């Protein structure tokens, strides 16, 4: 892209929107400046513009996003057939196995949930379409990273904050690259309490008819109900059936 095609102000506004999240729904101008790296005056203008357009509200100290911001995410979900295609399959899979099932895509160093069928809440955070998790320690993230060329996967790891969420979390890039190689061989990824204590998950890639991985599918369950070592035998047959059924439908 040519430098003259880049709209700096628009990029700054998007950065300000991304500063808000579940753990920080209300932010001051100083908070946004700190989290985005923008100077205070720029952060203030962006926030006031969002408030003027109805995407944020301001009480004189704190800004918070309004439901209008959902229009931005809805535009993607409406324009992309993937969520509509996979949701019925997730619903049936979740009912069949009695656990939550999800689908996600890769976005930089994170996965973004595009569809979900929840049986019960198995994480301390509430996962819905649009939720994000670090790719390196999520089962769907590892499946999606394993599908990339090794140089690209390693570059994403280098850009990631490889922190240990639990004592089980793998954070060494070489260990993770070896894990990706295993996932490519076996066709699935299993996470044993690396994202959160008490949570295990298993994921498989969703390929289109041309064999390109376009998303990932997972099942998450409490470790007390479904230990990681038992997940392949317990859930893979049903997940493979969904893989096969979706393959001719995915673009």
Q: How far is CA 117 from the centre of its chain?
A: 15
Asked whether residue 90 falls in the same domain as residue 62, the answer is no
Residue 122 pLDDT exceeds 60: no
Asked whether residue 53 falls in the same domain as residue 130, the answer is no
Q: How confident is the model over 186-244, as pLDDT tens digits? A: 999 999 999 999 999 999 999 998 999 999 999 999 988 889 999 999 999 999 999 99
Q: Output the domain CATH number for residue 32.
A: 1.10.10.10
Q: Which of 21, 48, 69 is the last residue of a domain?
A: 69
Asked whether residue 39 falls in the same domain as residue 89, the answer is no
Please answer whether residues 170 and 161 qualify as being in contact, where contact means their C-beta atoms are separated by less than 8 angstroms. Answer: no
Please answer whether residues 144 and 114 qualify as being in contact, where contact means their C-beta atoms are separated by less than 8 angstroms. Answer: no
Asked whether residue 133 falls in the same domain as residue 36, the answer is no
Give Cα separations from 109 to 80, 137, 183, 214 (angstroms): 21, 11, 18, 16
Print the domain residue range for 236.
Answer: 80-249
Q: How far apart are CA 216 and CA 212, in angstroms?
A: 11
Asked whether residue 64 falls in the same domain as residue 84, the answer is no
Number of domains forming the structure of the chain: 2
Asked whether residue 58 falls in the same domain as residue 168, the answer is no
pLDDT band of residue 3 (cuts 50, 70, 90) is low
Q: Give residue 71's pLDDT.
A: 74
Phi-psi region of 177 (alpha: psi -120 to 50; beta: other; left: phi over 0): alpha
Q: What is the pTM of this model?
A: 0.73
Asked whether residue 118 falls in the same domain as residue 226, the answer is yes
Cβ partners under 8 Å of residue 50, min gap 6? 13, 16, 17, 56, 63, 65
Domain for residue 172, yes or no?
yes
Nearest to 193 by CA among 137, 141, 135: 137
Q: How confident is the model over 103-114, as pLDDT tens digits? A: 999 999 999 999
Q: What are phi and psi of 191, to 5 degrees?
A: -115, 125
Asked whether residue 12 falls in the same domain as residue 113, the answer is no
Q: Which of 69, 97, 112 is the last residue of a domain?
A: 69
Domain for residue 75, yes or no?
no
Q: Output the domain CATH number for residue 141.
A: 3.30.450.40
Q: How far apart are CA 131 and CA 36, in angstroms?
A: 20
Residue 121 pLDDT exceeds 70: no
Domain for residue 74, yes or no?
no
pLDDT band of residue 74 (cuts 50, 70, 90) is low
């Amino acid at each position: 892209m040519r430098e003259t095609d880049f709209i700096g102000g628009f990029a700054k506004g998007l950065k300000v929107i991304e500063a808000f999240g579940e753990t920080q729904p209300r932010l001051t101008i100083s908070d946004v400046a700190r989290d985005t790296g923008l100077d205070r005056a720029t952060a203030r203008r962006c926030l006031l513009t969002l408030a003027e357009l109805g995407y944020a509200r301001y009480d004189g100290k704190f800004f918070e996003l309004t439901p209008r911001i959902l229009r931005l995410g809805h535009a993607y979900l409406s324009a992309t057939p993937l969520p509509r295609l996979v949701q019925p399959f997730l619903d049936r899979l979740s009912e069949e196995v009695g656990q939550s099932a999800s689908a996600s895509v890769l976005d930089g160093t994170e996965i973004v949930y595009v569809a979900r069928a929840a049986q019960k809440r198995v994480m301390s955070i509430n996962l819905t379409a649009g939720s994000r998790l670090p790719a390196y320690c999520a089962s769907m993230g590892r499946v999606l990273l394993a599908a990339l060329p090794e140089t690209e996967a390693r570059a994403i790891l280098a850009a990631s904050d490889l922190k240990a969420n639990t004592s089980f979390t793998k954070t060494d890039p070489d260990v993770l690259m070896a894990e990706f190689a295993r996932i490519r061989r076996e066709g699935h990824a299993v996470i044993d309490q690396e994202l959160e204590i008490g949570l295990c998950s298993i994921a498989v890639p969703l390929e289109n008819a041309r064999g390109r991985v376009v998303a990932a599918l997972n099942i998450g369950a409490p470790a007390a109900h479904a230990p990681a070592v038992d997940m392949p035998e317990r859930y893979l047959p049903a997940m493979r059936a969904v893989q096969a059924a979706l393959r001719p439908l995915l673009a």
